[in-house]
Chain A
């Protein structure tokens, strides 16, 4: 039942209306009751004053007899007002004082009494009249019935309750239809949203005619669609790319194996086929491993086996490994700056090697590659710059995408199946860092960053050693399993 906003809102409005009606009704009820009580007390007062004067002036037994008659005459037939006088002298008694439980009393000497023998509640005023001449001191009690007031209050209360209930019901029904009317744009939005599917991913919600509150929702929904569309598109092209990348080696494998088996081949020929097959298997394995690696990074996996090291030393280590490719390309590499950071050495080395290989491939003989390590607030940025043709901004923003190859580097596809820079990005993200690419003044710069080590007074060597044992060492041996 709570599923419908219209129903829920109507119910809530009705509850609010009921509360307001109850509050107002209670207030009115209390005011009326106070006013009626006040009125009753005033009329009681008037009668008490008259009776007091009469009793006060009854100074002789003769006058007292006349006073009693007058009092009797003043009493109405319905006994809604009663007088009683009591005194130490039995002669000065008159009527029967109302006795019973006091329901409520006021400081001015009034009390509401529920008579012991039953009947309506009475409001009584008790006055002490001092002795005058032959009359002893007496107590005068004047009582007025509360029953007319009570009847009024009961009728009024019942009417209020009935009106409140009716009013609430009216609010319930009215607000339900008003809310349904108000929610019409939402239903239209729902219809539009439900039409969005993978088949028409480009469809967006029409925000032009929406009320203010819904246009925000629709805009953020459209934003989410935009992002999902992008991710879906990337995934689709990624899958297509993977299939494509795997299709080439599989085609080669099937083809050359079939060719080898259609004739009687020499052992040497068969060995040759198997060797060629093995190369294709290795290629597939490299693709699968890289894909798994990227998938894990996508799932937000963080690098483990972190060790605090000097990044310059790590880059130098990678440069030493790449000595031969540098030499063959006749390219010189310079290393500037240093900073400490906690990294997985194997992953960091891989990122550096990928960036450096990328730079080497785009260098002309005699060029110099510059590697700059700089601390930037809480990150350390490793930038690899090489002279090269300017890269268009549209290309720059996609260079770290998977399988993205700018036309110029197509020729290298056999070498690193277009995942080199995507892996750099994944590694940076696994170290809470980012990647960037710039092209300006004939220099192309590719950079990645990793979270920097906190500046501490502790010597880095001691920390690095503390971090190394079992797990890190074990992990580095594991990475071998993954790469090949």
Chain B
């Protein structure tokens, strides 16, 4: 999928470009508002990441000009942490908003969310190795054995399974499983993962639920044993 980054801070551009390219995005970069507006209107992108503070033309003005011609999904980035700024961005047609400092993982989350809006219905039965998750029947089996999960544990498993292979941050998990979208400074997610892991991976030699330290959790089949 094709993505345009409009941002003037080179370091930010560099890590976003390499990170997103690795995630399979085709990335174009504009370093100022004029260039950004030119690229955004001339070419078709799946998503645009737009900084608010830009040389030559600020993000709001780029967005305004873009919206007169196109409805490409836009995520705004800003260092200003003011509600007014956010509301203004959203009113003028931004689809989402991230306040600096933000985590790369969170940006990937949002990009996925925006891209998913146009994606078709996902399957109701997910298979990961010998794990099967039945989203309709709300049951999970591994190696043919039904896992005895609580409602929350199943919800956590299905959230991870739907996005298998993607790293999910604690913030994303908190929101998707508990519908809580504030910073709680609790160990709720760690403990829930620990419990799920005991039931999911405990009795089996191959592990599916992995911790990516400092970032989050991922559900996937890995060839070698996880480094301790």
Known: A275-B213, A296-B81. A481 touches B182 (CB 8 A): no
Chain B 104-128 against A: per-residue CB contact (8 Å), 1 yes, 0 no? 0010000000000000000000000
Residue B214, interface by CB 8 Å: yes
Residue A483, interface by CB 8 Å: yes
The residue that A484 contacts in the complex, of B106, B191, B213, with Cβ under 8 A, is B106
Chain A 45-74 against B: per-residue CB contact (8 Å), 1 yes, 0 no? 000000000000000000000000000000
The answer to whether A347 and B185 touch across the interface, beta carbons within 8 angstroms, is no
A282 to B102, CA, bound (A): 9
Chain A nearest CB from B37 CB (Å) reads: 24
Chain A 452-484 against B: per-residue CB contact (8 Å), 1 yes, 0 no? 000000000000000000110011111111111
- Chain A residues lying within 8 Å of B98, measured Cβ to Cβ, are 481
A474 to B96, CA, bound (A): 8
The residue that A286 contacts in the complex, of B183, B187, B213, with Cβ under 8 A, is B183
The residue that B182 contacts in the complex, of A285, A301, A320, A479, with Cβ under 8 A, is A479
Known: A279-B213, A296-B82, A321-B178. A353 touches B97 (CB 8 A): no
The residue that B101 contacts in the complex, of A275, A288, A475, with Cβ under 8 A, is A288
The answer to whether A478 and B213 touch across the interface, beta carbons within 8 angstroms, is no
Residue B169, interface by CB 8 Å: yes
The answer to whether A484 and B169 touch across the interface, beta carbons within 8 angstroms, is yes
Chain A 348-359 against B: per-residue CB contact (8 Å), 1 yes, 0 no? 011001100100
The answer to whether B183 and A290 touch across the interface, beta carbons within 8 angstroms, is yes
- Chain A residues lying within 8 Å of B65, measured Cβ to Cβ, are none
Residue B221, interface by CB 8 Å: no
Of residues 141 through 199 on chain B, the ones whose CB sits less than 8 Å from some CB of chain A are 152, 169-171, 174-175, 178-188, 191-192
**A interface residues, how many (CB within 8 angstroms):** 50
Residue in chain A with minimal CB distance to B78? A481
- Chain B residues lying within 8 Å of A277, measured Cβ to Cβ, are 214
**Which of B8-16, B21-29, B83-91, B129-137 lies at the binding interface?**
B83-91
Residue A318, interface by CB 8 Å: yes
> Interface size class for chain B?
35 or more
The answer to whether B185 and A481 touch across the interface, beta carbons within 8 angstroms, is no
Of residues 327 through 359 on chain A, the ones whose CB sits less than 8 Å from some CB of chain B are 328, 346-347, 349-350, 353-354, 357
A124 to B40, CA, bound (A): 105
Residue in chain A with minimal CB distance to B170? A484
A278 to B212, CA, bound (A): 11
The answer to whether B103 and A292 touch across the interface, beta carbons within 8 angstroms, is no
The answer to whether A483 and B171 touch across the interface, beta carbons within 8 angstroms, is yes
The answer to whether B81 and A292 touch across the interface, beta carbons within 8 angstroms, is yes
Known: A481-B99, A483-B171. A476 touches B181 (CB 8 A): yes
A285 to B181, CA, bound (A): 16
- Chain A residues lying within 8 Å of B171, measured Cβ to Cβ, are 480, 483-484
A18 to B180, CA, bound (A): 77
Chain B nearest CB from A351 CB (Å) reads: 9
Chain A nearest CB from B75 CB (Å) reads: 10
A475 to B182, CA, bound (A): 12
A140 to B81, CA, bound (A): 104
Residue B203, interface by CB 8 Å: no
Residue in chain B with minimal CB distance to A480? B181
Residue in chain A with minimal CB distance to B214? A278
The dominant DSSP class at the A interface is helix
The answer to whether A278 and B213 touch across the interface, beta carbons within 8 angstroms, is yes
The answer to whether A357 and B106 touch across the interface, beta carbons within 8 angstroms, is no
The answer to whether A416 and B181 touch across the interface, beta carbons within 8 angstroms, is no
The answer to whether A301 and B184 touch across the interface, beta carbons within 8 angstroms, is no
Residue in chain A with minimal CB distance to B94? A474
The residue that A353 contacts in the complex, of B86, B182, B215, with Cβ under 8 A, is B182
Known: A301-B83, A484-B103. A324 touches B183 (CB 8 A): no
- Chain A residues lying within 8 Å of B186, measured Cβ to Cβ, are 322, 325, 353, 357
Residue B205, interface by CB 8 Å: no
The answer to whether B182 and A483 touch across the interface, beta carbons within 8 angstroms, is yes
Known: A285-B101, A324-B188, A328-B191. A278 touches B215 (CB 8 A): yes
Known: A276-B214, A278-B214. A478 touches B182 (CB 8 A): no
The answer to whether B181 and A317 touch across the interface, beta carbons within 8 angstroms, is no
The answer to whether A481 and B97 touch across the interface, beta carbons within 8 angstroms, is yes
- Chain A residues lying within 8 Å of B83, measured Cβ to Cβ, are 296, 301, 304, 475, 478
Residue A407, interface by CB 8 Å: no
Known: A353-B186, A481-B106. A321 touches B181 (CB 8 A): no
- Chain B residues lying within 8 Å of A471, measured Cβ to Cβ, are 87, 90
Chain A nearest CB from B35 CB (Å) reads: 26
A317 to B227, CA, bound (A): 37
The residue that A282 contacts in the complex, of B87, B97, B175, B214, with Cβ under 8 A, is B214
Known: A278-B213, A322-B188, A324-B188. A484 touches B183 (CB 8 A): yes
- Chain A residues lying within 8 Å of B86, measured Cβ to Cβ, are 474-475, 478
Chain B nearest CB from A407 CB (Å) reads: 20
Residue in chain A with minimal CB distance to B211? A275
Chain B nearest CB from A325 CB (Å) reads: 6
- Chain B residues lying within 8 Å of A346, measured Cβ to Cβ, are 181-182
The answer to whether A286 and B99 touch across the interface, beta carbons within 8 angstroms, is no
Closest 6 CB pairs of A and B: A278-B214, A483-B183, A350-B182, A275-B213, A416-B185, A321-B178
7 CB-based A-B contacts, threshold 8 Å: A274-B214, A285-B103, A320-B178, A346-B182, A420-B185, A480-B171, A484-B103
